[in-house]
A and B are shown apart, each in its own frame.
Chain A
Amino acid sequence: MNTAATQTLAPMPASAPARGKRRDDPKLELWIAWWVTIAFYNIFTIAFFILSRTQPPPKAWWHLPRIVQWFDDNHFGILFGFAMMFLIVGFSIAANALIAQSMRRMSVSPMFAYSYLIIYSLAGVPGMLLTCIALTVGAMRPDRDPKLLSLLYDMGFLSFSGTMGIFLIGSLVWGIAIVLDNNRVLPKWFGYMNLSNALTEVVVAPCVIFKAGPLAWDGSIAYYINMVIFGIYTGAFIMLLRNMIMREDFGSGVLPVLEKPPRR
């Protein structure tokens, strides 16, 4: 746990029974959600970038023999990496719950928090699990007809962009809530940045049309430039949520600014 950070908090009501200090930290539930988010993204990175080698994605224009070879080369990585994703997919909800909580803390209608939570609750199904299922089924029988392997390959990589609407509308919901909020829960510039993230989901759409070039699923625009924006966005919101938890005062007014930790 982030003890260094929690020590800088404003003093909390000391009425809670003294039975193990950490368990009585009233922010523990928020920190758990934050750390689960960190753990999820790390395991996601290991499974997709290192084990299965599905990120960065292989080429959309490959022909049958090359696709079969790709399944062969990554047989164990796909099966093991995606088994890990099957196991932990539900923990992706922690980030969405924390983001919904940020909106409950804002001076906006609770509808924003609930819309966001519902929009994102099944984001993992079209955006990740279908990819994992298709590629797992492909990898588990290497002797399958190459034409069927190629079908599963296309299904896998096209499904990976299947969350277009979820991220588009979800980012707009969060962004609008931040811009309208008067409690200064999250900075306005991050609200506007949600617009940039929403647009990446428009940019990715042509990957269902082009089999090669910058707009294909492995293309410089549809994949690499988008990934940079998504990376900046994800890094920003993880740090901002951490900041938000540190500032949390369990009130309903303006969220206080973080006090600088005293230097010793």
Chain B
Amino acid sequence: MKSVNGELLVFWSLPVVGLIWVLAFLTFPGFVHPMSPTMTAEQVAAFYRDPGNLPRIRGSMIVFNWFGVALIPFLVLIVMQIRRMAHRTPVLAFCFLGCVAGGPTLFCMADLFWLIAAFRPERAPELIQLFNDLAWVTFTGQVGFLVAQSVFLALAIYLDRQPRPVFRPWVAHFNLAIAAALAPAAFVALALDGPFAWNGLLSFWVKNTAIAVWIVVMAVVLGQAIYRQRRENGVPA
């Protein structure tokens, strides 16, 4: 039997990491009132030149760079549970495992674009706007790996053919709903205002809320699955 030592440590680090994510999110001045894509190059440059904004941009993005990757151990805990499901091959676990690095890596790229834009605010406004655009399109539009991993997880749960499945079927339905909620954000560049724009209802509020809800709900069901696994294996919980 594979050892499960250390899984609880990783699992219980999640609330702490989650708190850090929320604080960093609120610190970045571009998130609290999401920046509009219709801002002119001069307005974007002024945002980065504002002495009140600059330390908050840098600080929040440094913290995100440090802790964004902390999502990966949490996702790998889910892979461990997929491996316990009643599948004939590891192919769905491989599908999910292949996706886990995608989201944090792309977020890391957006994070760097913001930091580059903030590095020399005296640069020509067009160049600052270019990096600001790159950052927002990467941050908002890159939902592909998150969508795919939710769908792969849902499929894995549906195909978990045993009397007492690892995750109950509603978790699969929930994952498909989250995938649907994330999907519109991919179309972020099609409009500079309205619900699809990067400060719009679908691309900003729905998408980011969906990610937060997914993490919270998955943490709860994952915790239940881990504790159940330990009870069944006779490991002191």
Contact = CB atoms under 8 A, between A and B. Distances in A.
Interface stretch (B46-54, B144-152, B216-224, B225-233): B144-152
Contact of B190 (A83, A101, A250): A83
A170 B146 CA distance: 24
Interface stretch (A66-74, A140-148, A185-193): A140-148
B127 interface: yes
Interface in B156-192: 158-159, 161, 183, 186-190, 192
Interface in B132-152: 133-134, 137-138, 141-149, 151-152
Nearest to B93: A97
* A interface secondary structure, majority: helix
A230 B53 CA distance: 49
B95 interface: yes
A175 interface: no
A79 B146 CA distance: 20
B186 to A, nearest CB: 4
Given A29-B87, A86-B144, A93 B133 contact: no
B184 to A, nearest CB: 9
Interface in B44-83: none
A29 B159 contact: yes
Contacts, number: 143
B98 interface: yes
Interface stretch (B28-36, B99-107, B114-122): B99-107
A117 B126 contact: no
Nearest to A121: B98
Interface size class of A (residues with CB under 8 A): 35 or more
B235 interface: no
A23 B165 CA distance: 15
* B interface secondary structure, majority: helix
Given A29-B88, A87-B186, A101-B91, A93 B98 contact: yes
B211 interface: no
A13 B65 CA distance: 50
A253 interface: no
Interface string A124-139: 1100010001101101
Given A90-B146, A121-B101, A129-B142, A29 B91 contact: yes
A29 B92 CA distance: 7
B130 A137 contact: yes
Contacts of B130: 137, 144, 148, 152
A15 B188 CA distance: 49
B97 interface: yes
A98 interface: yes
Contacts of A83: 141, 186-190
Contacts of B37: 140
B14 interface: no
A32 interface: yes
B90 interface: yes
A198 interface: no
A144 B126 contact: yes
A83 B219 CA distance: 30
Interface string A97-135: 110110010000000010001001110110001000110
Contact of B99 (A80, A88, A93): A93
Nearest to A141: B133
A57 interface: no
Given A29-B89, A89-B148, A125 B126 contact: no
Closest A-B pairs by Cβ, 3 of them: A90-B148, A97-B94, A89-B144
Interface of B: 37, 87-92, 94-95, 97-99, 101-102, 105-106, 109, 126-127, 130, 133-134, 137-138, 141-149, 151-152, 155, 158-159, 161, 183, 186-190, 192
